[in-house]
Every structure is written in C-alpha cells, then in structure tokens.
Structure 1
Amino acid sequence: MRNITAAATTAVETPSPDAAVEVRGICKMYADMEALRSIDLDFPAGKLTTLLGPSGCGKTTLLKIIAGLIPATSGEVRVNGVAVTGPGPERAFVFQDFALMPWATVMRNVAFGLELKGMGKAERQAIARKYIAEVGLSGFEEKYPHELSGGMRQRVGLARAFAVNADVLLLDEPFSAVDEQNRRKFQEDLLRLVDLEKKTFIFVTHSIEEAVYCSDRIVILSRRPGRVAQIIEPEIDRTASPDAIRRDQGYLDTVEEIWQGLKRYVD
C-alpha cells in the first residue's frame, strides 16, 4: 500500500500532470455549517478514485460540486483543463437513488442522454443496447423501472452513464441499496467496466472494504468540515481472482489501517 499523504488536516497533494479533474481550494458553506474546507485534489485520468470518510464529511457534496450540480463557496474545479461552471457532457452522474424516469422503458432511460444530444433513434438505441448488454440486462430493454429489482435499476443507471460517453463518471454510493451478494457482483462488474472503458471514475462509498477492493486511489476526508486527511493507493494484484484479493493479507491490512484511522471520527 502506498500512503501518499500522512493523516493530517492540512494534507496537500502534489499536482499531477495526468489529472482529468483538478480541485483547487474548494470550500463549501451552508447558512449555518461549513461542509468542506480548502480541498486540493487531482483525479488521475483512467483511474478509479474513491472518496471515503465519516458520515457528514462532505463526500457527496464534493462529488456534486465536481459534477456542477451545486456551486462551491470558493475555489475551482477544472475538468480536462476547463473550469466547471455547471453540468457538462464530459461528466456523467450515477445517483444513489437511481433517478430513472418511471414512465420510460430501460431502453429509453439508457438512451435519454443521447436523445437530449439530438442523436437519431437508431444510433442511440444501438449504443444503449450495447451498454444494456454490458451491465447484464439484455432482454430487459422494454421493461419499466417498477418491473425491475433495485439492483437491476442501478444497472440501468450505470448503463445510462456509460452511454453518453462522458470522460468522467461520478458515482454516489451506487451499490448501497443492494444486498451483499449483489454488491460484490456489482463491484466485480465495475472493475471490468473500468478496465474496458478507460474512463476516470470518482466513487463515493461508506464501505472501507469496497473502497479498498475497487480503488486505484482512496481519498480519506476528515470529520466536517471535510478536509483531505490521507490519500492511499492500495497495492493489489488485479489479475488475481476476487476471492484471492479479498483474502490477500495486503488487502486485509489496508482495510484495517483505514479503519484505525477512521474510527476516531465515529461517535
């Protein structure tokens, strides 16, 4: 395990020349609360970076600022060198609650972003069908969200994000609503898609085990106001089987070290 910064409320990352997303001096204030303080981070292109920390530390807030869904109080986010001023086609967001259109079929939901871009029906459906297959939902194209399990609805959300061909995919606890068996399968599917698509992923989770299993890098945020406390790069042999990874001593030691660091924030 590579430990990039020691646990400290003033940890600052050295700028990376291959960063797809650059976060500089991000602060977020609400009326009576400071959510984030002086966040400086780079997110490398083609990697999966996880935001991890105690409840209320600002993980989802930071993700939504990067997405352009909410404004920062101060600071700047740049994606591919361009300042973020709102949502953009180079970013796609996968919501925790799926955010599917209940009146639309799986095909229509997955193709919707392409429809908004003005793409023709045949072309957008061909692209949608490809990603529906990638997430294991072939044969469900004409089903509606209420006819699907929670896990299947989350797969539709993932397929929709992939279909728009965004450079950066932002995932807000995408597996929190599914059972443990499906969660592990989704984690394996996600790693396959990360390797296949070569996109930049920013992933929010509360699960230490999930973060270590899935991530190239883990950014640990402190208790509110969220600050960068530590950055870890798990050294995991991704060619090993999922069961072998989960039994690997390096994996287990990294999980334990992160827990020892985080538990001081647990009330």
Structure 2
Amino acid sequence: MSPTRKNVVEASGFKVENAVSTRKISKNYGPVEALRNLSLDFPKGQLTSLLGPSGCGKTTLLKIIAGLLEPTSGEVEVNGRAVTGPGPDRAFVFQDFALLPWASVLRNVAFGLELRGVAKSEREAVAEKYIRDVGLAGFEKNYPHELSGGMRQRVGLARALAVDSEVLLMDEPFSAVDEQTRRKFQEDLLNLVQTENKTFIFVTHSIEEAVYVSDQIAILLPRPSRVSEIIRPAGFRSKGAENIRRDLEYLDIVDRIWASLRTYVE
C-alpha cells in the first residue's frame, strides 16, 4: 500500500475520505485476547464513537490509534501513512484530565506548542483563543486545583485543540462530570465538530451520548473485540442540538443499540 495514497470510500453516493483506518488489528495481553482482526474506517471531518460493553477494548483501540500501544498484529493508517508511534497528527484527551498541577490554565493549554518549540507569544495567543472557545475566558491565570472537574476537562480539550492535530482521540472525556455539565459539553462538542474541521474518535459507555454526538457509531463486541455494527445517524443532524433528544430517529437508534447490547450486560 502506498504511504501517501488517500483512503477514499463511497458512502451513500458521496465520496468520503477516511482520516484513520485500522486494518485487522489484534491485541493480546499475555493470554488475554483484547482485540481480534478489527478493521474500521474513520471518515475525515466527522465524529466516530466507539461503543460497547465494559472491557471490550475501546480504550485499547484508541491507544493503538494514538501510537501509545503497539498492536500484536495489523496496522493503523492516518491520512494514508502507517502509524508507528505517537505523532503530531493526533492529540489525546484523557479521561482524568492529565493536567500539569504546577502550571496555569494558559500554560497547560499552550504546553503542547511549547514542546514543539513554538515562540511564547505565538503559543499563548493560540492558547487564549481555545480557552475562549471552550468557555474559560478569565481563568487563564488559575491553576488546576482551583477549577471544577468540568473546567479541568475543558482545559484538557483546549490543550488538544491548540496543537491543531488533525485527529482528536477522546477517552470518555465527559464521564467525570455531572449530568448538566455533560449535556453542555455534548452541545459544545457538536459545535467543535462543525467548526474545527478535525476528525474526532470518541470513546463512551453512554448509548444516548454516542447517538447524540456521532456521525458514525461503531458497536464493538465483548472481548476479543470486533466490530459488530456501524450506525450512521443522519436525519436529525440538521434539526439543531436542542431538538435531537426528542427526534424519533434518535430515540429509535438508542433503543436499537440497547437491544443489541443488553445481552452483554451482567
């Protein structure tokens, strides 16, 4: 396979370019087989959720795409190039925030650019933009211990956006916040997908959340994980974030996914 070949597929009569492709990914932890021959494409500029029972390998797959874990077999491509480790084309938003406790919000958000050697004035200007975009204007000088859990997660998201990676990998980023904050985050995420022109890969345990935020949902089977089904919600996307949860297609997809997963819930 050519390292520069663009991965393009036909979907619903339109050409869709895939930002990320996994091909026959398997991952073993000693005798435990976490993933088996898992193949999945992630369309460019869209949000794909990985959904499935606990322990089905969602985070393992995300870390393999990030280059943080090496698969036992198979390959990952980002924009047609093989992944051999972490790279600037991917940014990770961790579940536990992973902020620098000794650094201000501004420096935390700018830290990825600092590691790349970007000049201080430039990286701080970029950081300030994304701090505003995630709703934290005025908190630039605060430290993580002075922020709520939701605010710390916004800092982590702003940091990932600031490095301007093409692919954002999000590992249950909203699981540690209350329901009201989580709903606001979901609305904000929809806006980011529309405005940032990035590819989002999103791990969640919530069926409702996956259907609400996703262009594509990949349902994974229990270990050893494979793709059971791919669902592409469509009809309610143009109706506005505030109307999605009342839409009949949204409700039908939630029920359909629950029916397919309930047999795996102990």
Q: TM class by shorter-chain length? A: over 0.9
Contact 2:236 2:250 in 1 (8 A): no
Which residue is 2:189 aligned to?
A: 190
Any idea what the Cα deviations from partners look like across 1:101-160, whole Å, max 9, x if unmatched?
Answer: 000000000000000110000000000000000000000000000000000000000000
Partner of residue 229, structure 1: 228
Number of the residue aligned with 1:171: 170
User: What's the counterpart of residue 253 of structure 2?
Assistant: 254
In structure 2, the partner of 1:160 is 159
Aligned AA (1:180): E
Alignment deviations for residues 86-111 of structure 1 (CA, whole Å, 9 cap, x no partner): 10000000000000000000000000
Matched to 2:126, the amino acid is I
Given that 2:236 and 2:247 are in contact with CA atoms closer than 8 Å, whether structure 1 keeps it comes out as no
Quote the Cα distance in structure 2 between the aligned partners of 1:56 and 1:233.
Answer: 24
Contact persistence 1:15–1:42 (CA under 8 A): no
Structure 1: distance between partners of 2:240 and 2:24: 40
Offset, 1:245: 1.1
One-letter code of the match for 1:189? D
For residue 7 of structure 1, what is the aligned residue in structure 2? none
Deviation for aligned residue 1:244: 1.8
The answer to whether the Cα contact below 8 Å between 2:93 and 2:169 also exists between their aligned partners in 1 is: yes
**Mapped partners of 1:244, 1:22: distance in 2:** 32
Q: CA deviation at 1:188?
A: 0.2
Which residue number in structure 1 is paired with residue 4 of structure 2?
none
1:264 CA drift (Å):
1.0
Aligned AA (2:117) = G
User: 1:15 Cα shift?
Assistant: 5.4
Q: Deviation at 1:227?
A: 0.5
**Corresponding residue of 2:3:** none
Q: Which residue of 2 aligns with 1:35?
A: 34
Partners of 1:223 and 1:22 in 2: CA distance: 21
Identical aligned pairs, as a percentage?
Answer: 69
Whole-angstrom CA distance in 1 between matches of 2:242 and 2:76: 38
Structure 2 stretches of 5 or more lacking a match?
Answer: 1-7, 11-15
TM-superposed deviation, 1:238: 2.6
Secondary structure, counterpart of 2:208 in structure 1: helix
Amino acid at match of 2:233: P
The answer to whether the 8 A contact 1:44-1:200 is kept is yes
TM-score by length of 1: 0.93
RMSD: 1.1
| Paired residue secondary structure (1:239) | helix
Residues 221, 227 of structure 2: 8 Å contact kept: yes
The total of aligned residue pairs comes to 254
2:173 is aligned with 1:180: no
The 2-side partners of 1:189 and 1:195 are apart by 10
Correspondence for 1:94: 93
For the 8 Å contact 1:37–1:225, the answer to whether it is kept is yes
Structure 2: how far apart are the matches of 1:15 and 1:51? 20
Cα distance in 2 for partners of 1:237, 1:32 equals 44
Aligned-partner Cα distance in 2 for 1:24–1:15? 15
In 1, distance between residues paired with 2:241 and 2:112?
Answer: 33
Asked if residue 65 in structure 1 is aligned to residue 59 in structure 2, the reply is no
2:24 match? 25
> 1:120 and 1:180 mapped to 2: Cα distance?
39
Query: How far has the Cα of 1:241 moved from its partner?
Result: 3.5
Q: Deviations over 1:149-199 (max 9, x none)?
A: 000000000000000000000000000000000000000000101101010
Runs (4+) off by over 3 Å: 14-17
Maintained 8 Å contact 1:150/1:178: yes
Q: What letter corresponds to residue 207 of structure 1 in structure 2? A: S
2:66 and 2:92 in contact (8 A); partners too: yes
**What are structure 1's unaligned runs of at least 5 residues?**
1-13
